């Protein structure tokens, strides 16, 4: 670091957060050099691919930014040691999944990747280095990182650890990064906090940048995700009441959302929330609460996840029941496999469980998605199910000889399907299950199609 100025940034982890976040910083801070590094060489090669349609993640607006800044002030490489050595500031953007075994299995974060980064930084950093937690981490992780970094015999080196959690959502990541509701910086080294703030001030107004202590920052990230997920479980629980009573969840969402205290966003009922983070972050909160013997708090948040699994199963069971309780050797079209529209990410996608359950019941699936590859679906459904589904490039082909179609991801193009054309290809009676409430029920009034929509009490 020269004259207390950040000139060179390293980001460890070239994933859904590291890639887009560093691309937006590079675009807004042309004087900074940013090196994004990853142990996954294949991923790095894809980030460097000339054909921008091969970038490892699909995110609207991302490829345009990459084409502007890549190899100018943004570089992707696997040379982690070198990038650490040259960096004044290092963002940790590695994965933090739930532990699969050992103490805390099923709840606590697996911090092995964070720990190995801290060790790598300790071995290779030069001068004063600011280490920034970008990954979502359990409260007090900064202390662990500090302890590892402080194991050093070399008095020429020093470290500050900050927490700067990321709030972007996939599918809207670029807009979320360019125009976030807030940027949170937690720390106890005010000078380091100001240096990080200065980077964001290149494109954000000062009032959007919040300073807190380290633990408030780490906990705020978990809390934000828990509150968002809780809203989805809340509206999904009401969707079931709508179906039983004749109410319509879209009308209920609209009516309650007009109350400013409730707000209009995040009130769409669906097949349950997916994505890599909501479940793991709530499980982490549950683990934290139990650790501090706050069992009522832990139970409260765990129920958000239970409702989510219940909703997902409820959708699957509804499909089977409507198809006369039997799907053996019935072909079913699956519309959408990503966990939400505008991403190719399938982690924890509600489609995975629903597809696995339908296959287990004997169905054959024609699976279509606009961005998810056949390979990804294959990994998600596991090799033992390989002969029970086919990948469909063209949405209309997916309907061939099917008894039903299940819309699982809210890709806008599904709204434009010509259902009269579909009717020529399918078996009768034919069912459409719209788990995202994006289709207009009236469209089916005069067609020989049975239509079911989540939370729609007037389902025929």
- Report the C-alpha gap between 327 and 354 in whole angstroms: 13
Under 8 Å between Cβ of 62 and 20: yes
Among 300, 307, 297, 301, smallest CA distance to 282 is for 301
Whole-angstrom CA distances from 41 to 45, 76, 411 are 6, 10, 31
Q: Is 374 a catalytic residue?
A: no
Q: Which stretch binds ligand NAD (CB under 6 A): 112-120, 187-195, 288-296, 353-361?
A: 112-120
Nearer of residues 24 and 327 to ligand UGA, judged by Cβ: 24
Q: Which does 267 bind (CB under 5 to 8 A by kind): ligand NAD, ligand UGA, none?
A: ligand UGA
Among 322, 285, 282, smallest CA distance to 305 is for 282
Under 8 Å between Cβ of 117 and 104: no
Applying CB under 6 A, which of residues 167, 291, 300, 444 lies at the interface with ligand UGA? 167
Under 8 Å between Cβ of 338 and 346: yes
- Report the C-alpha gap between 199 and 73 in whole angstroms: 14
Q: How far is the CB of 385 from ligand NAD (least distance, A)?
A: 24
Whole-angstrom CA distances from 455 to 237, 314, 380, 431 are 9, 12, 28, 16
Q: Is the dihedral of CA 252, 256, 257, 258 positive or negative?
A: positive
**348: contact with ligand NAD by CB under 6 A:** no
Residue 432: phi and psi, rounded to 5, are: -115, 130
Q: Calculate helix-pair angle for 214-245, 141-149, nearest 10 degrees.
A: 150
Residues 355-374, mask of contacts with ligand NAD (x by CB under 6 A): --------------------
Nearer of residues 16 and 159 to ligand NAD, judged by Cβ: 16
Nearer of residues 39 and 443 to ligand NAD, judged by Cβ: 39
Going by their DSSP bridges, the two strands 33-37 and 74-77 should be labelled as parallel
**113: contact with ligand NAD by CB under 6 A:** yes
Joined together, the tokens standing for residue 201 give 């001030």
Applying CB under 6 A, which of residues 91, 273, 316, 452 lies at the interface with ligand UGA? 273
Nearer of residues 95 and 268 to ligand NAD, judged by Cβ: 95
For the chain, give the longest Cα–Cα distance: 79
**169: contact with ligand UGA by CB under 6 A:** yes
Q: Which stretch binds ligand NAD (CB under 6 A): 34-42, 181-189, 205-213, 355-363?
A: 34-42
Q: Is 242 a catalytic residue?
A: no
Q: Which does 228 bind (CB under 5 to 8 A by kind): ligand UGA, ligand NAD, none?
A: ligand UGA
Query: Which H or E element spans position 18?
Result: helix 18-28
- Report the C-alpha gap between 33 and 245 in whole angstroms: 59
Distance, CA of 206 to chain centre? 28
- The catalytic residue among 277, 330, 355, 371 is 277
Q: Is 280 a catalytic residue?
A: no
Residues 375-414, mask of contacts with ligand UGA (x by CB under 6 A): ----------------------------------------
Residues numbered 335-364 forming contacts with ligand UGA, rule: CB under 6 A: 339-340
- Report the C-alpha gap between 251 and 260 in whole angstroms: 16
Whole-angstrom CA distances from 48 to 113, 173, 347, 365 are 23, 20, 24, 35
Q: Which does 15 bind (CB under 5 to 8 A by kind): ligand UGA, ligand NAD, none?
A: ligand NAD
Under 8 Å between Cβ of 371 and 86: no
Residue 248: phi and psi, rounded to 5, are: -120, 120
- The catalytic residue among 59, 120, 133, 166 is 166
Q: Which does 38 bind (CB under 5 to 8 A by kind): ligand UGA, ligand NAD, none?
A: ligand NAD
Q: Cis link prior to 429 (omega < 30° from 0)?
A: yes
Q: Which does 225 bind (CB under 5 to 8 A by kind): ligand UGA, ligand NAD, none?
A: ligand UGA
**275: contact with ligand UGA by CB under 6 A:** yes
Nearer of residues 57 and 332 to ligand NAD, judged by Cβ: 57
Applying CB under 6 A, which of residues 26, 32, 80, 139 lies at the interface with ligand NAD? 80
Nearer of residues 39 and 439 to ligand NAD, judged by Cβ: 39
Applying CB under 6 A, which of residues 110, 166, 369, 380 lies at the interface with ligand NAD? 166
Residues numbered 170-199 forming contacts with ligand UGA, rule: CB under 6 A: 170
Under 8 Å between Cβ of 236 and 151: no
- Report the C-alpha gap between 153 and 170 in whole angstroms: 42
- Report the C-alpha gap between 166 and 218 in whole angstroms: 10
- The catalytic residue among 221, 250, 341, 371 is 221
Residues numbered 221-260 forming contacts with ligand UGA, rule: CB under 6 A: 225, 228, 232
Nearer of residues 253 and 276 to ligand NAD, judged by Cβ: 276
**267: contact with ligand UGA by CB under 6 A:** yes
Q: Which stretches of the chain bind ligand NAD, using CB under 6 A?
A: 12-18, 37-40, 43, 80, 93-96, 113, 116-117, 135-136, 166, 168, 170, 276-277
Q: Which stretches of the chain bind ligand UGA, using CB under 6 A?
A: 136, 166-170, 225, 228, 232, 266-268, 270, 273-275, 277-278, 339-340
Positions marked catalytic: 166, 221, 277
């Amino acid at each position: 670091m020269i004259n207390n100025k950040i000139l060179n940034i390293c980001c460890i982890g070239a994933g859904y957060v590291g890639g887009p976040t560093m691309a937006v910083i590079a675009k807004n801070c042309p004087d900074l050099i940013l090196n994004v590094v990853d142990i996954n060489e294949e991923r790095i090669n894809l980030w460097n691919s000339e054909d921008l349609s091969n970038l490892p993640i699909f995110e609207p607006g991302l490829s345009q930014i990459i084409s502007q800044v890549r190899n100018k002030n943004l570089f992707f490489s696997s040379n982690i040691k070198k990038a650490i050595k040259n960096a004044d500031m290092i963002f940790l953007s590695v994965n933090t999944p739930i532990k699969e075994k050992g103490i805390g299995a099923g709840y606590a974060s697996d911090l092995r990747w964070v720990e190995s980064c801290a060790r790598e930084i300790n071995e290779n950093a030069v001068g004063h280095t600011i280490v920034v937690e970008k990954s979502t981490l359990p409260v007090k992780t900064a202390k662990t990182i500090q302890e590892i970094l402080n194991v050093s015999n070399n008095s020429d080196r020093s470290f500050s650890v900050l927490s700067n959690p990321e709030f972007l959502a996939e599918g809207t990541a670029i807009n979320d990064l360019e125009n976030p509701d807030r940027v949170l910086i937690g720390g106890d080294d005010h000078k380091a906090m100001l240096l990080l703030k200065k980077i964001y001030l290149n494109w954000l107004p000062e009032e959007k940048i919040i300073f807190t202590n380290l633990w408030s920052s780490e906990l705020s990230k978990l809390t934000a995700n828990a509150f968002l997920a809780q809203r989805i479980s809340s509206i999904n629980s009401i969707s079931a009441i709508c179906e039983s009573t004749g109410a319509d969840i879209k009308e209920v969402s609209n009516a309650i959302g007009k109350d400013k205290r409730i707000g209009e966003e995040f009130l769409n009922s669906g097949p349950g929330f997916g994505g890599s983070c909501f479940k793991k972050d709530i499980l982490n909160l549950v683990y934290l609460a139990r650790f501090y013997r706050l069992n009522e708090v832990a139970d409260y948040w765990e129920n958000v996840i239970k409702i989510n699994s219940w909703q997902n199963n409820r959708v699957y069971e509804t499909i089977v029941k409507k198809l006369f309780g039997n799907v053996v050797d019935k072909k079913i079209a699956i519309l959408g496999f990503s966990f939400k529209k505008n991403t190719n990410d399938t982690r924890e996608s509600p489609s995975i469980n629903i597809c696995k359950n339908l296959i287990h019941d004997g169905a054959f699936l024609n699976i279509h998605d606009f961005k998810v590859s056949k390979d990804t679906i294959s990994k998600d459904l596991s090799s033992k199910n390989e002969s029970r589904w086919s990948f469909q490039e063209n949405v209309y082909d997916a309907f061939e000889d099917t008894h039903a179609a299940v819309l699982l991801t809210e890709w806008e193009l599904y709204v434009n399907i010509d259902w009269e054309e579909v009717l020529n290809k399918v078996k009768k009676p034919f069912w459409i299950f719209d788990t995202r409430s994006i289709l207009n029920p009236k469209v089916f009034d005069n067609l020989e199609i049975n239509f079911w929509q989540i939370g729609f009490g007037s389902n025929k």
